[in-house]
Amino acid sequence: MNKKGLAILLRTRMRPTDASKLAQSPLNNVVNQSVSNSEENRSNGRVGGFVSGENASKNTERRNFENVRESMQSAISMNKSEVLDTVLNDFSEGYFCLSHEDRRKLLLLLAKEYDLNRTQVRELIKQYLGLELPNSGNVQSSGLEEEGMLSTFYRIERNLRHALKPMYEDLFERLNTHPGGLKFLSIIRADILSILAEENLVSLRALDSYLKEKLSTWLSPAALELHQITWDDPASLLEKIVAYEAVHPISNLIDLKRRLGVGRRCFGYLHPAIPGEPLIFIEVALLKNVAQTIQEVLWDDPPIPECEATCALFYSISSTQPGLSGINLGKFLIKRVIKLVKRDMPHISTFATLSPIPGFMQWLLSKLASQPKLLEGEVLSHSSADKSGSSFWENILEPEEERALMEASRGVAFGIETPSNETLCKGEAAKNDNSYEQEHNSYLLQEKKRGKVLDSVANFHLQNGAMIERINWMADRSEKGLRQSGGIMVNYVYRLESIEEFAHSYFNTGHIHASNDLQRYVEIGTKLTQDFDFRHRGSEAEFGLPQANCSCKTW
């Protein structure tokens, strides 16, 4: 093993799978450990001979918090640049030494006490509304009078714009120009998002919204460098690819080298203020045809000569900064990669993805769990006679399929656990069953919230201008793929001539572009469901069961 491989192997720290750990900022674990060690050391002594070790530790924490609070206040209010750099260093170093609870207190303080001055805003609005618009009266005012009136308007408007800026804007602006400040701001936002997940506070939401807007501006595509990541890059960069790969974990150095080798590409967005660390990266496979399973992309097939490839398949896209959540860097990354690959390899004519459906199994189990229990008493005998024994009202699954899924998830908290891999793999025999085709087709094409599809990955690609081309059964047999998506994966296709049109129609009307085959499956499934409702409406009413509504969305 060469030195680079050994370095990556020794230095790479895989991301934790525990959601509670992911919710914290990346430095929390290290910082909290150092804080706990220092607290333990302090607790062994006495302060002034009278205070216990526990009280001494609390007093020290309190002093640390006050010091960080004072440095934050100074960073907002001071003007001298040479002193400001020192203050910003003190603030960032002190922030990392705070416990999670003290960070929460500090951020709530920042959100509430350093917000905009609403009393001043109200007063300026009153003054503005009290002004008479130039030329609004019947008497023609002179040029000098009009200039004076406009001057008053401009002055109040300028003051109003200034008053509508919260005081914490100065802190964000100054940190952005400070070495390491942009990374620090992303960590602060990660902590804000972690707190908001626990308690939804209006002032904190406003702080998050403002910081997100600032980060979106500072991380515009013009400020980002598109970099092709290869095996020749520093080990420190490659270890981050291994650590932050979120879709298909990199199992070993051979796997990493394969993903960066012949027939493969990896591109990342870098920012000058965060050197050596991609903010987001995408992995591409060069293939003859659009792949239907992730196995053939990662392991099964050796790479083809690149000159024979006609398809660039995007099979993984991962963000490395939790604090940049909601800032759609992936949209710009995909479009730039498409242009770059097309320029360098004109023979590539198809740009597609092989994507998971991470919300599918949770949605399916929630639908199963929420259906009324119809197989009780007399209902069981009547319903079994007409083969409507499934409690799944939308008739997505056959009765034996529903029983297998419900049995696998019995006794487990809803939405948390999914059927075992063995149970799902046994369902491969039903891969051509219309009920399976209908369930995931309808989830992607018909299930919506606020006009957009439920699935986050689908929403991402559709709003970027892709269309749903094909759904692939048992395309990801990994534990994660079976748990989240039931092994199903989707091919989204980016047609160069239609990207902007498709993105525009989805954004404005929620229209989903899909291949003719998928549209036909949905139409057939809708008709079958409506026919089922019509045939069984009478028997349902007879036994006091809730009647299906043909006008409701089908599955």
Quick: pLDDT tens for 327-379. Answer: 989 989 999 999 999 999 999 999 999 999 998 888 888 877 766 544 444 44
Taking 3-state DSSP, the helix, strand and coil percentages for the chain, each rounded to the nearest 5, stand at 55, 10, 35
**Active-site residue list:** 355, 461
CA atoms within 13 A on the CB side of 312: 25
Average pLDDT over residues 282-291: 95
Average pLDDT over residues 530-540: 47
Q: Is the pLDDT of residue 551 over 80?
A: no
pLDDT at 400: 64
To 5 degrees, how large is the angle CA 285–CA 289–CA 294?
50
Q: What pairing do the DSSP bridges indicate for beta strands 355-356 and 452-453?
A: unpaired
The rounded percent of the chain whose pLDDT value lies above 70 is 69
Regarding pTM above 0.85, the answer is: no
Q: Is the pLDDT of residue 111 over 80?
A: yes
Q: Which of 29-43, 126-140, 287-301, 429-443 has the highest mean pLDDT?
A: 287-301
Q: Burial level of 78, CB count in 10 A (0-12/13-18/19+)?
A: middle
Average pLDDT over residues 215-226: 93
pLDDT at 158: 94
Place 526 in a pLDDT band, splitting at 50, 70 and 90: low
With contact defined as beta carbons under 8 Å apart, do 460 and 335 qualify?
Answer: no
Average pLDDT over residues 166-195: 96
- DSSP string of 275-305? TT--SEEEEEEEESS--S-HHIIIIISPPPP
For residues 321 and 527, which has the higher predicted lDDT (pLDDT)?
A: 321
Q: What pairing do the DSSP bridges indicate for beta strands 280-287 and 350-353?
A: unpaired
pLDDT at 10: 55
- Compute the mean pLDDT over every residue in the chain, rounded to the nearest whole number: 78
Cα(110)–Cα(171) distance, integer angstroms: 10
Tokens 């899909």 belong to residue: 514
Place 299 in a pLDDT band, splitting at 50, 70 and 90: confident
Q: Is the pLDDT of residue 483 over 70?
A: yes
The per-residue pLDDT for range 74-105, each reduced to its tens digit, is 999 988 767 789 999 999 999 999 999 999 99
